[in-house]
Structure 1
């Protein structure tokens, strides 16, 4: 591994490794908290309603604040945003067990701390995503491979984190899981602040202004993101499609799977088993994608991945199939989902100018995630009205139609134009500047 010196022309994997390491520890901490925090609320309040309210109070500011912080990431630089927000997340997460130990933790204060964690975690996640293409460029890594490795990192965190969180909660109690979450955020902050090479993740210079023009303000920068997206039909189509699938996935995970586990008699163990199989298969799919996706036709890989990852999960639960068949379908679905982010991320990297990548990525992420806080509420109301099986069938049908009918639109042809060897072999001055977005769940 060579030392990465700005302007030297040398390639090094150190920048990409550092960004991925910071993503790994912060995402793992978040997944541990996703087990520990709800359990802590349940055992201290005994209220499922309050438990759901805590989850809502974290995700709503996550989505809302992330939408408005893109210009700040561009102005300040993703590196500074990442380590400062991770430090703030660590402080807020550590305050929960501390105030509880001091008998000062009221439920309103808990909601405020959780909302603060969500509000600062959004910009922190965005900042790490923004640094991926720059780190990949420094290491000479193809965009599909870099985003594939980013996907592997996320999938591993989603597989290891819940297992570690469940073990910690069972053995040492939920407060220990919250302390571990705080430690993970602190470690991520240190990695970004100290371990990355000089020059990575700094603010991007704005285009030279005309004579007499003042430097653009926040709202002008923010508006540039909307202006850019309005002219990018492919990106808008992707955002709308993924927004619908994210809403369906949120309802499936938070309501439909638990209700199915209860009604089928398989119990909560089945939920953990299905999640583990899905996550492990997704890791395998992401690894394969990181090695081979840049050589394949993007549209074919993308829509095949969604065909496997979406509707089959809903339909297998509605069919009253045995547990073995359910796990097999979840394994296939997880493998297909592993191909989505590498392809999607590479397309987005190539279409957005570097100087506005933070604001465009923030808007894209937030719009695609806007339905997640509502997914569980909608699924719960639907199940209460018509029952589980009809909702599963409707959800699977909606997933299939969303991902396949959308693919008939003509703008999807642009997905393949910059893919494969031709795009990889372009000279640097001809290449479109990269951006980043993490639109899938």
Structure 2
């Protein structure tokens, strides 16, 4: 079995962690700002229009372009490079987010313009998030740490930003207005772009060889290079059974999670009489536990066998939270389950992201990561709408049972299939020239490592969305 610790980049001092710290800081700042807008923008629409339908449409107009933007940005990330693309995307995000309060203050923000700006926010933010995550293998290599640990650090800070962002948004909205919260988000994107520009990895070692290989391909390529590159990413994802299974699984779980957070929890809280206090308690317990789980994963995920850890984590974090609500168990039981849910889910993303970053060759990292992230996020805009229709038609309890079954069927049962054994195959990086525009063979043995799934680094970043479960 290959060593799990990636060798340090020959062009960098051993143990250098400047790029790692810069990426973590940039990711945290940008995500914190994003959480401000996620609260402030719907609130702005709600208080100015009084329409829940218009508020929902704004969220939908941001979510759909975000998913599409991720899918289409991959070839550009590979061509331009993750670092410059991330800087550009964050600066565009800062401008677009800042236009919302500016146009409002200038009395030039009709509802149609707001929908366009919401779509632009999604288009800019989604690819920027992907570009940041694709820097993870290089910064982990330079820092001399396993990908699971780098991914765990990203996940921990993401959980912290996800917990602190809404609280800060609430305070800013209460003291000032949602417009100032969005202004703060724009400044966060500027800070993120500056951090990446100053500290982001500039390439070295295997990454430099991958970039040289990509430039050679570009020089040999003819017309429609972008479409050719996009098709290469689609073909790679389609033929890699494990990556394809992970992407589909994330699409289902993100759909259910979106329904759970946006609709099922509020309906449950109303039915049991707990109201906002129950929602707040549940969110706080899960958020704190998720931070702890991510911290534990940072320390231990690289030492654990991946497939058993993944299965156990999803058995704890999946069906139980729906079942305790369906059986109308006391609030303290629901909170205890939420505590276990948060601790367990922290181990999932480091594992999944390590696998994805290892299996994707460096020259294809941007486009395949973007496509995987896009497929995994595709269910998010549909989750609340489908759940709302189902609860209206059948009631809350049947929908909760259905969600528990769907979670089990999409997470644990696929992991029992033979090709999921590759989850434990920590793969060393191969020469990028050996993986040029190749795709894995569907019939390859589970234990064999085809050249087309060469590792991006020896031995992952969140979701992601992105990729996040």
Distance 1:298 1:141 in 2: 17
Distance 1:401 1:199 in 2: 41
Superposed, 1:161-200 pairs within 5 Å as: 161-196=165-200, 198-199=202-203
Superposed, 1:37-436 pairs within 5 Å as: 37-196=41-200, 198-199=202-203, 204-207=211-214, 208-209=216-217, 214=222, 217-418=225-426, 432-434=455-457
Distance 2:119 2:220 in 1: 42
Tell me, yes or no, if the aligned pair for 1:74 and 1:356 is still in contact at 8 Å.
yes
1:26: how far off? Answer: 0.5
Distance 2:67 2:349 in 1: 19
Tell me, yes or no, if the aligned pair for 2:138 and 2:203 is still in contact at 8 Å.
no
1:168: how far off? Answer: 1.7
For residues 317 and 39 of structure 1, do their structure 2 counterparts lie closer, same or farther at Cα, with a shift above 3 Å needed?
same
Distance 1:20 1:362 in 2: 19
1:160: how far off? Answer: 1.0
For residues 427 and 271 of structure 1, do their structure 2 counterparts lie closer, same or farther at Cα, with a shift above 3 Å needed?
closer
Relative to the length of structure 1, the TM-score reads 0.93
Distance 2:9 2:320 in 1: 48
For residues 272 and 33 of structure 1, do their structure 2 counterparts lie closer, same or farther at Cα, with a shift above 3 Å needed?
farther
Tell me, yes or no, if the aligned pair for 1:209 and 1:215 is still in contact at 8 Å.
no
Tell me, yes or no, if the aligned pair for 2:23 and 2:196 is still in contact at 8 Å.
yes
For residues 315 and 143 of structure 1, do their structure 2 counterparts lie closer, same or farther at Cα, with a shift above 3 Å needed?
same
SS at match of 2:16: coil
Q: Which runs of 5+ in 2 are unaligned?
A: 1-7, 432-450
Tell me, yes or no, if the aligned pair for 1:6 and 1:198 is still in contact at 8 Å.
no
How many corresponding residue pairs? Answer: 432
Is the deviation greater in 94-103 or in 330-339? 94-103
Relative to the length of structure 2, the TM-score reads 0.87
Distance 2:68 2:301 in 1: 32
1:230: how far off? Answer: 2.3
1:21: how far off? Answer: 0.6
Tell me, yes or no, if the aligned pair for 2:255 and 2:383 is still in contact at 8 Å.
yes
Distance 1:272 1:205 in 2: 51
For residues 353 and 199 of structure 1, do their structure 2 counterparts lie closer, same or farther at Cα, with a shift above 3 Å needed?
closer
Distance 2:129 2:38 in 1: 16
1:242: how far off? Answer: 1.5
1:210: how far off? Answer: 11
Distance 1:386 1:333 in 2: 26
Distance 1:160 1:238 in 2: 29
Tell me, yes or no, if the aligned pair for 2:35 and 2:162 is still in contact at 8 Å.
yes
- 1:303-355 deviation per Cα after TM superposition (whole angstroms, max 9, x unaligned): 11111111111112222222222111111101111001111111112111001
Q: Which runs of 5+ in 1 are unaligned?
A: none
For residues 251 and 24 of structure 1, do their structure 2 counterparts lie closer, same or farther at Cα, with a shift above 3 Å needed?
same
SS at match of 1:10: coil
